[in-house]
Structure 1
Amino acid sequence: MARAAALSLLAALAGVSAGTPARADLSDDAARVARMWSLSGARVARLPPIFLEHGRARVVAVDPPAGPARAAGAAADECLTAAFLAPRTAEFTLSPEGPSGGVPALEGLLQQLRGAEPEDDRRVPSVAGVAAITRCGAEREGLRRVAIEVLSTRSAFDVVVAASSGPLERVEAILPERASGPVAPRGDPGRPSEPGPLDARVARAARRALAEGAPRVAPTDMRASSIGTGQFSVKLPEGCHRLDLMAEVPSATLRRATDLDAEAREGTTGRLLDRDRSDAPDARLDFCLGEQGVVEVPFLGAAGPVKVVLSDAQWPMSAFVPGHFGARARGNLAAALRRRHAPAPRAQAIAEAIGAQGDTLVPVQVEPGRCYFAAAALARGELRALRISVELGDRAGRDDAGENGESAGVAFCSEIEESAALRVSARGGSPVWVVAVWPMD
C-alpha cells in the first residue's frame, strides 16, 4: 500500500514537472524579451507589474536602466525602448506624455509624429497584447512618461525598458506566437439593408428617446426634391437635441437605395453643430444649444421625392451649466456632460478657468472621497484638437473632443488626494476655451 502511494506521488510530481515548460505566462514572456535584449548588448530593466481596469489610465515613468558609463557622444545617440506586455486578448494604447507628464508641446508632438498634423492621434495601439515605443537621441526625453489606457475589461501588464546603441529586435520577433497574421481581404457586403416602414421607424426613434429620459419629442416633415435632397429650418430651444432624419422608402421595385446624410448648422453663423456621413439609411445628429436659435439641417440621399421626417428629441439643460462665458461655451459644456453620460450637475461648479492656444495647467482643490466631472469647451475661435486630462497621484484620465467636436470631459474620484491637476491642450485658429468642474453625487 505504501509503495503504491509513493509511486502515485512520484507520477503526479513528474506530471507537474513535465507540464511546467509548456505553460508560458506573462512573466515568462517578459523575461524572454529582457533576456534577448540583454544578449544584444542593451541595458535592460523590468518595472513592477501593473494592473488596470477599463476606463482608468496610468502614467508610467520610463527611466533608462542603470549601467556602465558611456562616452558622451554615444550616450546622446542612445535609443530608449519601452515594451508593455499583457495577455494576448487584452487591448490597450500607449501615449508618450513628455518629460513633465503633461500633453507635449506642439513642436514635440510634431517630432513624435514625424511631420504629421497636430490633430493626428499619437497613441500606439496594442497587437496581440503587446505595444512598444522606441525613441532615439534627443527624442528619448519624449518617452520619459508613458500613459497606458485599457480598452478591454481589465488587464495585468509587465513592462520591459531597455537602453541600446540602436533599435532593438521587435517584440513580435522574440515572441512569434504574438505576431499577427495577414489581414483578410474585404468582402462584398451586398445590397444596402431596407430600413422598413417610415411610421414604424419614427415611433421607434421616439420610444428610444423617451426611454433615455427625453421629456419631449417633436417630429416635423417635408417632401424631398426629385433627386432626394432638401433642408429643414427649425427653431429649437436651449438644451441638448438629437435629430433623427428618416426618409420614406418607395414601393417601386426599381429604386435608389435610401441613405440619408445630413448636417446641422447654426442659422445665424453657419457654425457646424454635427454631421452624419454614415452608410446607415437614417441620419442622426447630436448637439447642445446654449440659447434658443434657428438650426438649418440640409440633407441628401433620399430615394426621390419622398416624405422625410425630422424627429427632435430634447433634453433640458441644467441651471448649473454656467452661461456667463457665452451661449457657445454653455452649449459645448452641456455637450461634454451628455457625451460622457454624466448626470446633470446639481451644484455650482467648484472651479472655472479660461484659456487659449497651447497647453495649460489648471490646479483644482478637491475633497477626499468625492467624485467630480471636468469639462473643457470652446468659447470662440476654431479648433483642430482639444484634450483635457486629469492626474491624481498615480492615476490619470483624459478625453479628446474628436472630429468636429468642440468639447471634452473626464470624470474622476479623489481617494485621499486634496488636489487634482487638470491639463487642457488646444490647437486651432485662435481658440478660446473654458473649463468647469462640478461635484457629482
Structure 2
Amino acid sequence: MAAARGLVERGRRAAVGAARGAALAGLTALAGLTVGAPARADLSDDAARVARMWSLSGARVARLPPIFIEHGRLRVLAIDPPPAGVAGASGASGAAGPKAEECLTVAFLAPRIVDFTMEPESSSGELSALEGLVHRLRGQDPEDERRIHSVAGAAAIVRCGDARETLGRMALEVLSPRGAFEVVVAASSGPPEPLEAILPERVSGPVAPRGDPGRPAEPGPLDARVARAARRARAEGAPRVAPLDMRASTVGTGQFSVKLPEGCHRLDLMAEVPSATVRRATDLDAEAREAGTGRLLDRDRSDAPDARLDFCLGEPGVVEVPFLGAAGPVKVVLSDAQWPMPPHVPGYFGARARGNLAAALKRRHAPAPRAQAIAEAVGAQGDTLVPVEVEPGRCYFAAAALVRGEMRALRISVEVGDRAARDDAGEGGEGGGVAFCSDVEESAALRVSARGGSPVWVLSVWPMD
C-alpha cells in the first residue's frame, strides 16, 4: 500500500512540473510576441529603405546585386532602367512604361567609412568653352568636377530626358582600402527624394576651414640638394645625370636652352638661397617646351621650393626651360637625369608618338617591353573600342599616345572579365597606360577616349614578363 501511495505521489509531482513548464513556455512565447527584436541597421537595410521610399513616390525601383571592390580596382557597371511593372520595396508597381522626359537615378551605398567616387563612363565628353572658363575661374579641375564624391559612404546621380543615356555605364573607384556596395536604380517622372533626406544619419556637418601653414620651408644648401637629386635619379636607374647652371635675373627669372638626346628626362631646377636675413622666398616654377614648335612637354607650378619636369623625347632636340621664383640674382642649377628609350617602342608613328608612349611606360613605372607589341591601333576624336586577343595567365601593358593635334583629355581603360582599370593622361598629358592580366580570359576590351582639337592617337599593347 505504501509503495502504491509513493507511486501516486511521484505521478502527481511530475504532472505539476509539466504544468509549470507549459505555463513558463507560454509566458516566454507571449513575451516574444510583445517585445520585438532589437533594431539593426546595416547596408542592406539602408538600401531597402531607399528603395521603399522611392517606390512609395511612384518610381520604378530595382536593386542590383551587391558588389565588392578593392582599392585601385576601377569597376565599370552596366546600368539598365527598371523595366515597366517592376515593384519597389513596398510592393507597388511603377508606371506603365518609360517616358521621354523620365528621370533615371543611380545610387551607390557603402559603409559610412568607405570613400569612393562615381561618374558616368561617358563623362569624358568635351567641355564647352563656357564650362571650361567657369571651371578655371573657380580654380577647379574640369575632369574632377565630373566625378561625384561620396559623403558618409553614399552617392547618387540623376539624369532626366535624353541625358539618361549617359548613365548606361557607371565607373566606380574606391579611395579607401576596400568596400562593399549596394546599388539602387530608380526611374521616375522627376528627381526622387535625395539620399540625405532618406538617410539623415549619413549627413555630414560643415568642413572646418584650413589653418595657416606658416612661412614656406627653407630648401637648404644648393650643393646638398643637387647631390640629393642626383642620388635619387641614379637609385631609380638613370645611367647619366648632367648638371647645368646659370644666374637668374634680378627679379628671379631666366631660361635654359638645352639640347637633349632621345629618351626620358627628369629636369630638377634648384635655386640658391641668399644669405641675407630679409629675402624673398624661393619657389621655382618652370616649364619645358620644344624649341621651334613651342609644344609644352611638362609644367611645374607647385608650392615646392624646387621645380621638377618629367617628359620623354622620341628624337634628339632642343628644349627651352623658362623659370621664375628665384630669390633674386642667384645661382640656378638644372640637373638632367636621363633614361634611354625603352626597346620595342615603335618609331614609325613619329617622334611625338614615340616619346608619348615611352612617357606612359615611365609614368606607370612599367618595365621596358621585351617583345614587340601584340596589337596596335590608330584612332581619332571620340570613344574607340579596340578588342585584343590575350593569352590566359599572362600580363600586358597598353599605352595610348597622341600622334598629332591638340589633346584636352585622354583616357585609356581596359576590361578583362569582371575586372577593369583605367588611366587619365592628366592636364597637358599626351599619353596614358594601364597594366592588366588575364586569368582564364582570351580577350580584353580596350577603350580609348580622346577629346581635343583634331587629335590622332596610337595604341600599343605589349606582353610583359
Question: In the alignment, is the contact (CA less than 8 A) between 1:80 and 1:135 conserved in 2?
Answer: yes
Which of these two proteins has the greater Rg computed from alpha carbons?
2
2:43 corresponds, among 2, 26, 30, to 26
Deviations 1:254-281 (Å, cap 9, x if unpaired)? Answer: 1111010101111232211001111111
Going from structure 1 to structure 2, the CA distance change for 1:92 and 1:323 (only over 3 Å counts) comes to same
TM-superposed CA distance for 1:186, in Å, is 3.0
Residue 156 of structure 1 aligns with which residue? 180
- 2:53 counterpart (16, 22, 36): 36
* Equivalent position of 1:189 in the other structure: 213
Superposed structure 1 runs of 4+ greater than 6 Å apart:
113-119
Provide closer, same or farther for how the CA distance between residues 260 and 33 of structure 1 changes in structure 2, counting only shifts above 3 A.
same
| 1:56 equivalent in structure 2 | 73
Is residue 351 of structure 1 aligned with residue 375 of structure 2? Answer: yes
How far the C-alpha of 1:248 sits from its partner, in A, is 0.6
1:88 aligned onto 2:112: yes
Other-structure match for 1:398: 422
Cα distance between partner residues in 1 of 2:214 and 2:380: 48
Identity %: 80
Q: Which residue in the other structure is 1:312 paired with?
A: 336
Aligned match of 2:443: 419
The Cα shift of 1:180 comes to 2.1
1:119 and 1:385 in contact (8 A); partners too = no
Which residue in the other structure is 2:267 paired with?
Answer: 243
**Structure 2 CA distance for partners of 1:104 and 1:188, relative to 1, 3 Å:** closer
Offset at residue 77 of structure 1 (A): 2.2
Contact 2:124-2:409 within 8 A present in 1 as well = no
Residue 428 of structure 1 aligns with which residue? 452
For 1:230 and 1:19, locate their aligned partners in 2 and report how far apart those are by CA, in whole Å: 75
TM-score (norm 2): 0.84
Contact 1:119 1:384 in 2 (8 A): no
Q: Which residue of 1 aligns with 2:308?
A: 284
Q: Per the alignment, in what secondary structure is the counterpart of residue 99 of structure 2?
A: helix
1:47 pairs with 2:64:
yes
1:440 matched residue in structure 2: 464
| 198 and 105 in structure 1: CA distance in 2 versus 1, 3 angstrom threshold | closer
- Give, as a single letter, the amino acid of the residue that structure 1 aligns with 2:296: L
Distance 1:179 1:114 in 2: 30
Distance 1:308 1:160 in 2: 57
Which amino acid counterpart does residue 59 of structure 2 have in structure 1?
A
CA distance in 1 between counterparts of 2:370 and 2:203 reads 50
CA distance in structure 1 between the partners assigned to 2:399 and 2:300 by the alignment: 24
Q: Do the aligned partners of residues 123 and 268 (structure 1) sit closer, same or farther apart at CA in structure 2, a change above 3 Å counting?
A: same
Question: Once structures 1 and 2 are overlaid, which stretch shifts more, 155-164 or 392-401?
Answer: 392-401
Q: TM-score, normalised on structure 1?
A: 0.89
Instruction: Give deviations 1:156-196, integer Å, cap 9, x for gaps.
Output: 11111112221111112222222121122233222111111
Q: SS state of the match for residue 228, structure 2?
A: helix
CA–CA separation in structure 2 for the residues paired with 1:380 and 1:119: 23
Instruction: Please give the per-residue CA displacement for 1:395-416, whole angstroms capped at 9, x wherever unaligned.
Output: 2222111101011111111122
1:361 corresponding residue in structure 2 = 385
In the alignment, the residues of structure 2 paired with residue 327 and residue 339 of structure 1 have an alpha-carbon distance, to the nearest angstrom, of 18
Counterpart amino acid of residue 45 in structure 1: A
In the TM superposition, what are the counterparts of 1:169-248 in structure 2 within 5 Å?
169-248=193-272
Matched, 1:260 2:277: no
Matched-pair contact (CA < 8 Å) for 2:55–2:94 = no
In structure 2, the residue matched to 1:299 is 323
Partners of 1:302 and 1:115 in 2: CA distance? 30
The residue matched to 2:293 in structure 1 has which SS?
coil
Alpha-carbon shift at residue 25 of structure 1 (Å): 2.1
Which residue, 366, 373, 378 being the options, matches 1:342?
Answer: 366
Say which SS state the counterpart of residue 187 (structure 1) adopts: coil
RMSD: 2.6
SS in 1 for 2:265: strand
User: Which residue identity is paired with 1:31?
Assistant: A
User: CA 1:331 to 1:366, structure 2 compared with 1: closer, same or farther past 3 Å?
Assistant: same
Partner Cα separation in structure 1 for residue 37 and residue 327 of structure 2: 64
Q: Distance in 2 between matches of 1:18 and 1:308?
A: 76
Q: Structure 1 pair 197/208, CA: closer, same or farther in 2 (3 Å)?
A: same
Look up the match of 2:18.
none
What is residue 407 of structure 2 aligned with on the other side? 383
Given the alignment of the two structures, is residue 330 of structure 1 paired with residue 379 of structure 2, yes or no?
no
Q: Secondary structure at the match of 1:278?
A: coil
What SS is found at the alignment partner of 1:250?
coil
CA–CA separation in structure 2 for the residues paired with 1:104 and 1:339: 21
Query: Which residue identity is paired with 2:71?
Result: H
